[in-house]
Chains A and B, each alone.
Chain A
Amino acid sequence: MDNILDKIKRNESPTRSKWREAAKFRQNNKDWLKISQFFAMFVLNIMEDKKLSQKAIALKAEVSQQYISKVLKGSENLSLETIIKILKSLDVDLKTIFDFVFKKLSNEELDLLSKEIYNIKSQRLLDEESRLIKEKEEIELTIQKLRDKSIYIKD
């Protein structure tokens, strides 16, 4: 009696399965893929609301229809330029998409985002403080120079 595994091996593909490679890619790039998937969901919702076709968006955004099809899969690593082009083609602003994404995020993700925003704001304040200190020092130096000059003129 022939072994089933032998039978399978006799009909084994000469090429390797791409599954593992694709799975690892998804696993290693899950952060930006998640954003890409949110964006695809958002665009599909707007397309339905406004009865827009892929062809219409492609024309307005000046990209190919095949590219829009890939974007709607949620697997494209989109550039900011492309995101803006597509948003314009949908006639929606950045706030609308931020609102959509924030509603999709879990509490943990929102906490992380809040911390990130806090860090960015803190860094901005520190940068501003450094800038002001530097400006103050320059002004003080200028005043000192003017005083020195004034003394020299008096003399």
Chain B
Amino acid sequence: MYYKITEDDRIWAVRYNGEEDNELYKLFDNWNDVSFLRSFFIKHKDDLLKNFKVSNVDDAIQDTLDDASELQAVILDFDEVADLDSFFQPLSDGSPDYYLERSKGKGEKRKGHASWLRIYALKIKENSYLITGGAIKLTHQMREAEHTMKELNKLYSVRESLYKEEGIVDGDGFEEYIKDK
């Protein structure tokens, strides 16, 4: 099932079977939940230290809360003329999918590291996206961690369910389809 996030039909979010809410709602609920964040960073403390040089769990929680607030403001500010294609970035692993993060240059008063928050999306057509999930990405590649790998699988399965009937089987075909639309 799909939830409309912006009234202009340009941003949507998936709600998976068995889940209490859509992915965007769930992401921000988790990213504002101190208890959830603490458990997450304790579990991933090795990646946190290795890739971001952050050793204090409370610092990681605070940075996440601050970045979630910035990212939330970015989405709330989207209006019908916003150039969404300039906000959503293509994933670097060669798949035809996209992600949204806190705008570069915003929230830079916090020193130390780039934001690790990611919202993953499929491009429906020019300037239109369907959010399939998101993650706290602490590794260079999504395939390096179980929870980001799960997000890749979600992107893949939603893409497959939506585009299979269109006869699109790979990334190149998907890009062609988007351009046609």
A interface list, Cβ under 8 A from B:
1-5, 7-9, 11-13, 16-20, 22-24, 26-27, 30, 33, 37, 40-41, 44-45, 69, 72-75, 104, 106
Contact = CB atoms under 8 A, between A and B. Distances in A.
Q: Which 7 interchain pairs have the tightest Cβ spacing? A: A74-B34, A40-B34, A17-B3, A72-B35, A19-B25, A73-B33, A8-B2
Interface residues of B, number: 40
27 contacts: A2-B166, A4-B125, A4-B162, A4-B166, A5-B124, A8-B124, A12-B3, A12-B4, A13-B1, A13-B15, A16-B3, A17-B4, A17-B5, A17-B24, A17-B25, A23-B28, A26-B28, A26-B69, A30-B69, A40-B35, A41-B38, A72-B35, A74-B33, A74-B34, A75-B32, A75-B33, A104-B58
Contacts of A1: 166
B163 A72 contact: no
A69 B181 contact: no
Contacts of A11: 1-2
Interface of B: 1-5, 9, 12-13, 15, 21-22, 24-25, 28-29, 32-36, 38, 58, 61-62, 65, 69, 72-73, 75-76, 109, 124-125, 128, 130, 162-163, 165-166, 181
